[in-house]
Structure 1
């Protein structure tokens, strides 16, 4: 159970809370983390709470993808235009891109395995959770939240689901990238033309190099916000149960069989 003691003295912390974010160590499927790194380098690390590595790999992916015309080559390949794909692809930058791409998949898988071990150790060594943090700029606390509400906000605008659970680093980062990708892909213009029946004009106006970023951003935001809302609720219940047991339950009481 969770005890009310100084978190700094523990070897295996379960969660940390600050005015700007909430981060936890919880068991995850390593293949899920590897999949998100394959879908969009950096997302697997952000999913595991490795913000700095995730942000750097994500920015690296966007810059090299656009410079090497990788998304354009993917579009041409999927439509059978292999000659055009070879023409637009910058092979020098693509080789550099592949190295970081493979590293992201391997490293997120490795980190997930190691964090699963630490999560088990944390649960077995009575980890401590500070359930409240306040500063002049923000207030953050563990509280029970609805995972479907988190997913709904992510469906409306990717990033807002993370803001809802106070995972601000990921939330604002995804929100900014989503806004930039939507603007430069001209998706809203294409949607308007599609709704008015101008399908050929919609196909001509959209920029596929930016548009292909959107599905991964959208799916990651929904999935990650939902999963972490569930995990936060588990930590909230465990912390509350530990506090009540330590302060209100008689040490002589026995649990019913």
Structure 2
């Protein structure tokens, strides 16, 4: 159990504030940044337990912010089912695998996400391929989400490639992240890694996360989102490399 007013608690508060700020500016990044930073101070399974409630609250908020929820559910339901099942399977790896391997997996996921965001060209998925690719992308996303706590790969680039309108894309991301969070919580609970103490800390983490989101929305109107996102991705990439290097040392 992490004590209040301890250095780990200060790290948690600062991490969720910054993660909320990033989400306020870019519409994503809270679980990714939280797992990356907290993974440098504690095991990935503990970090994943802490992000459950802030991730759920902010993603449901994002999910309910648009007008097309019913349409998106009908279109993406098979992908969501596969994310759910894949996350449950991946969480088993997170709760049973060696901590060094899960830390390396988290670092690798951060590096891949950063490199894709910095250098990959936007993709476009033909409509006739969506029925084939959606369950595959969902399953891969779920396994990565469950085993690392990072929800974005490859769901985010795939959803961006579907040609959704801006508001629909934000809502679709909220749907994907919400399903991932629920499945991660279920998997951690079944693995005995999400208890009352984790729930309390995770609930308290909502406060700095929402404050960060509020600040982020104010910043968004005053800076270039592209510049902010570029430096955010560089930071995540360097953080991922540091986590991977632990396996070598």
By the TM > 0.5 criterion, same fold?
A: no
Q: What's the TM-score once normalised by structure 1's chain length?
A: 0.23
Please identify the structure whose Cα radius of gyration is greater: 1
Higher relative contact order (CA 8 A, sep 6+): 2
When you count strand as a share of all residues, which structure comes out higher? Answer: 1
Q: What's the TM-score once normalised by structure 2's chain length?
A: 0.24
When you count helix as a share of all residues, which structure comes out higher? Answer: 2
